[in-house]
A and B are shown apart, each in its own frame.
Chain A
């Protein structure tokens, strides 16, 4: 604060003015404040004389200063909160109680047997509850509660970015996880000493539980950003608690199932490869959810989409990379892998497309300032701009890319000598290609029709992303079940997999029909004309709107913004050094 005319001095001033003019006792208090600062300074000076640990002290101060403000605030709050104290105390009490009970139940066998695994299971349940239920729900309540108390508004108008806000909340959750974990760690070490469970197994379960807790905390944060309406928050919290309890119970089942299986698996390289693939997938979705939560609270005129689209593409590349590695390595040209790849990538882009096609086609002047303007930038990066049309094209082009990868894999297969490896493979190349083309066509049709309907709805009402997602879900449900019901009533055949031409709008039935038999059924060739043809029509119908989005060009900065940017840039330029040499 800087109040001039001798009335109050600023944060950047020396600070005596406030004492002169502050009302009542505040003058004395200001003096105390100054003495405090002087005291702090003298400590700092003393430390600087102290010598060797000064750099460490400075580094710690630097780090403490750069900690996320929300993390600092929430840590202070948590350490004083009753909820944290009770949870932590309960965790300790339960840990101790189970230690005593477990030892008592084991009896003399504790010396000769190996009760470590049973004891570990008990401690795991004690740890998993706070990690998989309390921490994620706390993350949800933390953000939702700020919206209820309207402190979120005050926080949102500071210079904290949405990513910093979500990261701060997530950091606070991670800190809680670490504290709970540290409380139970001695007990876990105790189970290792009891024999019956090895150290890697303990680490494996703890690691995946922390990862699950992290993922659930991000889901909780995302749920906290979805709505600020109290009644919707209540509904969401009910679903969230149910989901978290399910995850908690699922983790029990997982640990109970795997606790005796893992030891042998650690020696198998494929186990680690599968874990690496799973981890990269999990982390990529964690990042996607993190950015989605940040996008939810981003100012409406800002770009909420480009970063998310970049993450989606990274996920696409990760999946492609892992599948290529599997196909070239352990699996050695197995056709089913290509099918798995196409199913995953198709579902991935369809779900992402549901959200992208709900975006507004209008770009704010702020977003327009950042549009790519070079030729290559416009060709390759335009599809990352916010907008339903660009999102639609991004989905279709990514799926075309995936299909091209499948074609490439099939083409190079004989050259790699994979063709005779598994002659018993139940699918042939034609079926795989037909599956790919039909899958791409159905995604194109459903997203395209949804996009056309959304455009129509926008003439009458304000359409949000959630409405588009619901519309897409409705379209798919209609496509899946209406033809089946009609067929069942007409032909009196309720078999879902039975294909007739009535089932043309049903992607699942048509895609399954491709695999009726050991080679491509004859009527699939008609499907391969009709469905892609219809997809092309839908795509062409959407093209004018896509073109309107693509034609938008970069807008210049307003004069005031340009002035400030120039001023800031000038401040960053170091001053010219003073001439010290006569030869300069």
Chain B
């Protein structure tokens, strides 16, 4: 097998729970060093796919491969290569941070000096070294997240699967976590990450997959997904002198305008027309008597793409 083989590959993955199709024919590939953002509404099938990848669940049909090894038939080889951070903490009572990481280092068969170093490095990387003797069940949520990341990293896996790692964290902890993930990606680890905080995902992900009701709706870079959408759209932000309510009414009658949001003196909407149509729109706005203070056009954010691609359906 060549070095260019995907580190993560889902092949027509299906996972049904009775009549519910939690994952329905999902296929994608993630290559070495890539960060893959897995996004979708609650109940879309992200966690189920990740659990299959982590060998915690079995697919109903299809397969998932990690570094070329099937999760179905070679779970032992997959486990050596994969670190999984689930959306729960899984801490023990009466176990300190150091003992917790030491246990998992032992469980991954790390011996003597290698184990000591691994625990030390992970604690240093996650900033937990100052809490080494603190019981794990007494840690704050942010620290528990760090501990879980540390546990997933303890055996130096080539692939990391992180399920909602930033959920419930304060802004500072989120930024620190994002920096850690960025460092891991820079070091060549392949990362599959799911999150609801799309702006943060957009900053660190090379590739994004959007899933809804178990089906993968789009996959590629944010730019590629934007192109895959029916029409390329720009997000336009307008600020007026005074209230923008009247502008909102006016915009609804204009062509190419969608997803309008009016907030005080500002309006934000998507515009599907070419650049000269945007210029015409601005001119028409001024001619209509709106006192425009700012008119900014920017490419769609990941949130815009997500809103455009998904329909808000849950199962």
Q: In the docked arrangement, what's the CA distance between A158 and B109, Å? A: 9
In the complex, chain A residues whose CB is within 8 Å of the CB of B43: none
Which residues, 309 to 349 on A, are CB-close (under 8 Å) to B?
Answer: none
Which residues, 386 to 445 on A, are CB-close (under 8 Å) to B?
Answer: none
Interface membership of chain A positions 202-226, coded 1 if the CB is closer than 8 angstroms to chain B and 0 otherwise = 0000000000000000000000000
Tell whether, in the assembled complex, residue A77 and residue B92 are in contact, meaning their CB atoms are under 8 Å apart. Answer: yes
Tell whether, in the assembled complex, residue A155 and residue B129 are in contact, meaning their CB atoms are under 8 Å apart. Answer: no
**Which of the residues B55, B80, B92, B125 comes within 8 Å of A8, measured between beta carbons?**
B125
Give the segment of A31-39, A481-489, A496-504 that binds chain B: A31-39
Known contacts A3-B187, A159-B107; decide if A26 and B120 are in contact (CB<8 Å).
no
Give the segment of A249-257, A508-516, A555-563 that binds chain B: A555-563
Which residues, 167 to 208 on B, are CB-close (under 8 Å) to A?
Answer: 176, 179-180, 183-184, 186-189
Known contacts A8-B183, A26-B129, A30-B124; decide if A160 and B72 are in contact (CB<8 Å).
no
- Check B74 for interface membership: any CB of A closer than 8 A: yes
Which residues, 547 to 584 on A, are CB-close (under 8 Å) to B?
Answer: 558-561, 563-564
- Check A525 for interface membership: any CB of B closer than 8 A: no
**Which of the residues B77, B82, B184 comes within 8 Å of A3, measured between beta carbons?**
B184
Interface membership of chain B positions 69-94, coded 1 if the CB is closer than 8 angstroms to chain A and 0 otherwise = 11011111101101010101011111
- Check A281 for interface membership: any CB of B closer than 8 A: no
- Check A42 for interface membership: any CB of B closer than 8 A: no
Interface membership of chain A positions 535-546, coded 1 if the CB is closer than 8 angstroms to chain B and 0 otherwise = 000000000000
Q: How far is the CB of B55 from chain A (nearest CB, A)?
A: 6
Q: In the docked arrangement, what's the CA distance between A581 and B93, Å? A: 62
- Check A229 for interface membership: any CB of B closer than 8 A: no
- Check B307 for interface membership: any CB of A closer than 8 A: no
- Check A169 for interface membership: any CB of B closer than 8 A: no
In the complex, chain A residues whose CB is within 8 Å of the CB of B114: 11-12
Tell whether, in the assembled complex, residue A1 and residue B112 are in contact, meaning their CB atoms are under 8 Å apart. Answer: no
Interface membership of chain A positions 142-186, coded 1 if the CB is closer than 8 angstroms to chain B and 0 otherwise = 000000011101111111100000000000000000000000000
Tell whether, in the assembled complex, residue B79 and residue A3 are in contact, meaning their CB atoms are under 8 Å apart. Answer: no
Q: How far is the CB of A569 from chain B (nearest CB, A)?
A: 15
- Check A304 for interface membership: any CB of B closer than 8 A: no
In the complex, chain A residues whose CB is within 8 Å of the CB of B224: none
**Which of the residues A11, A26, A149, A154 comes within 8 Å of B156, measured between beta carbons?**
A11
**Which of the residues B77, B79, B156 comes within 8 Å of A561, measured between beta carbons?**
B77
In the complex, chain A residues whose CB is within 8 Å of the CB of B127: 22-26, 29
Give the segment of A68-76, A110-118, A267-275 that binds chain B: A68-76
- Check B54 for interface membership: any CB of A closer than 8 A: yes
Tell whether, in the assembled complex, residue A560 and residue B68 are in contact, meaning their CB atoms are under 8 Å apart. Answer: yes
- Check A366 for interface membership: any CB of B closer than 8 A: yes
In the complex, chain B residues whose CB is within 8 Å of the CB of A32: 129
Tell whether, in the assembled complex, residue B123 and residue A29 are in contact, meaning their CB atoms are under 8 Å apart. Answer: yes
Tell whether, in the assembled complex, residue A77 and residue B94 are in contact, meaning their CB atoms are under 8 Å apart. Answer: yes
Q: In the docked arrangement, what's the CA distance between A392 and B266, Å? A: 76
Give the segment of A13-21, A87-95, A285-293 that binds chain B: A13-21
Known contacts A11-B117, A301-B72, A364-B72; decide if A1 and B129 are in contact (CB<8 Å).
no
**Of A149, A158, A559, A563, most B-chain CB atoms within 10 Å:** A158
Tell whether, in the assembled complex, residue B103 and residue A69 are in contact, meaning their CB atoms are under 8 Å apart. Answer: yes
In the complex, chain A residues whose CB is within 8 Å of the CB of B288: none
Residue of A nearest to B186 (CB): A5
Tell whether, in the assembled complex, residue B72 and residue A34 are in contact, meaning their CB atoms are under 8 Å apart. Answer: no
- Check A365 for interface membership: any CB of B closer than 8 A: yes
**Which of the residues B80, B112, B130 comes within 8 Å of A65, measured between beta carbons?**
B112
Q: In the docked arrangement, what's the CA distance between A561 and B72, Å? A: 13
- Check A80 for interface membership: any CB of B closer than 8 A: yes
Tell whether, in the assembled complex, residue A1 and residue B122 are in contact, meaning their CB atoms are under 8 Å apart. Answer: yes
Q: In the docked arrangement, what's the CA distance between A8 and B187, Å? A: 8
Q: How far is the CB of B92 from chain A (nearest CB, A)?
A: 6
- Check B13 for interface membership: any CB of A closer than 8 A: no
Tell whether, in the assembled complex, residue A3 and residue B176 are in contact, meaning their CB atoms are under 8 Å apart. Answer: no
Tell whether, in the assembled complex, residue B69 and residue A560 are in contact, meaning their CB atoms are under 8 Å apart. Answer: yes
In the complex, chain B residues whose CB is within 8 Å of the CB of A301: 58, 72-73, 75
- Check B110 for interface membership: any CB of A closer than 8 A: yes
- A contacts with B: majority SS: helix
In the complex, chain B residues whose CB is within 8 Å of the CB of A73: 92, 95, 99, 103, 106
User: How many of chain A's residues have a CB under 8 angstroms from any CB in B?
Assistant: 64
In the complex, chain A residues whose CB is within 8 Å of the CB of B74: 366, 558, 561
Q: How far is the CB of A230 from chain B (nearest CB, A)?
A: 15
A-B contact count (CB 8 A): 190
Tell whether, in the assembled complex, residue A30 and residue B120 are in contact, meaning their CB atoms are under 8 Å apart. Answer: yes
- Check B314 for interface membership: any CB of A closer than 8 A: no
In the complex, chain A residues whose CB is within 8 Å of the CB of B79: 157-159
Tell whether, in the assembled complex, residue B110 and residue A11 are in contact, meaning their CB atoms are under 8 Å apart. Answer: yes
Known contacts A10-B121, A29-B130; decide if A2 and B70 are in contact (CB<8 Å).
no
In the complex, chain B residues whose CB is within 8 Å of the CB of A4: 186-188
Q: In the docked arrangement, what's the CA distance between A563 and B95, Å? A: 40
**Which of the residues A29, A299, A364 comes within 8 Å of B129, measured between beta carbons?**
A29
- Check B151 for interface membership: any CB of A closer than 8 A: yes
In the complex, chain B residues whose CB is within 8 Å of the CB of A30: 120-121, 124, 129
Residue of A nearest to B5 (CB): A560
Q: In the docked arrangement, what's the CA distance between A36 and B180, Å? A: 24
Which residues, 130 to 183 on B, are CB-close (under 8 Å) to A?
Answer: 130, 151, 153-156, 176, 179-180, 183
Known contacts A33-B124, A157-B84; decide if A12 and B94 are in contact (CB<8 Å).
no
In the complex, chain A residues whose CB is within 8 Å of the CB of B68: 560
Tell whether, in the assembled complex, residue B124 and residue A18 are in contact, meaning their CB atoms are under 8 Å apart. Answer: yes
**Which of the residues B1, B80, B107, B120 comes within 8 Å of A560, measured between beta carbons?**
B1
**Which of the residues B1, B115, B151, B188 comes within 8 Å of A563, measured between beta carbons?**
B1
- Check B118 for interface membership: any CB of A closer than 8 A: yes
Q: In the docked arrangement, what's the CA distance between A65 and B80, Å? A: 19
Q: In the docked arrangement, what's the CA distance between A170 and B92, Å? A: 18
Q: In the docked arrangement, what's the CA distance between A23 and B36, Å? A: 24
Q: In the docked arrangement, what's the CA distance between A302 and B55, Å? A: 12
Tell whether, in the assembled complex, residue A300 and residue B58 are in contact, meaning their CB atoms are under 8 Å apart. Answer: yes
- Check A280 for interface membership: any CB of B closer than 8 A: no
**Of A1, A40, A65, A72, most B-chain CB atoms within 10 Å:** A1
In the complex, chain B residues whose CB is within 8 Å of the CB of A21: 183
Tell whether, in the assembled complex, residue B107 and residue A158 are in contact, meaning their CB atoms are under 8 Å apart. Answer: yes
In the complex, chain B residues whose CB is within 8 Å of the CB of A300: 58
In the complex, chain B residues whose CB is within 8 Å of the CB of A159: 76, 79-80, 107-109, 155
Residue of B nearest to A32 (CB): B129
Known contacts A69-B103, A76-B95; decide if A561 and B69 are in contact (CB<8 Å).
yes
Tell whether, in the assembled complex, residue A33 and residue B72 are in contact, meaning their CB atoms are under 8 Å apart. Answer: no
Tell whether, in the assembled complex, residue A22 and residue B187 are in contact, meaning their CB atoms are under 8 Å apart. Answer: no
Q: How far is the CB of B191 from chain A (nearest CB, A)?
A: 12
Q: In the docked arrangement, what's the CA distance between A36 and B88, Å? A: 32
In the complex, chain A residues whose CB is within 8 Å of the CB of B291: none
- Check B116 for interface membership: any CB of A closer than 8 A: yes
Residue of A nearest to B67 (CB): A560
Residue ranges of B at the interface with A (Cβ–Cβ < 8 Å): 1, 54-56, 58, 67-70, 72-77, 79-80, 82, 84, 86, 88, 90-95, 99, 102-118, 120-130, 151, 153-156, 176, 179-180, 183-184, 186-189
Instruction: List 14 additional contacts besides A3-B187, A15-B117; criterion CB under 8 Å.
Output: A3-B189, A7-B186, A8-B121, A8-B187, A26-B124, A26-B128, A30-B129, A73-B92, A81-B93, A149-B92, A154-B151, A299-B55, A301-B58, A366-B73
Q: Could you write out 6 A-B pairs with CB less than 8 Å apart?
A: A4-B187, A5-B187, A11-B105, A37-B117, A73-B99, A301-B75
The 9 closest A-B pairs by CB, nearest first: A11-B118, A3-B187, A29-B129, A69-B106, A30-B124, A560-B68, A158-B107, A26-B127, A80-B94
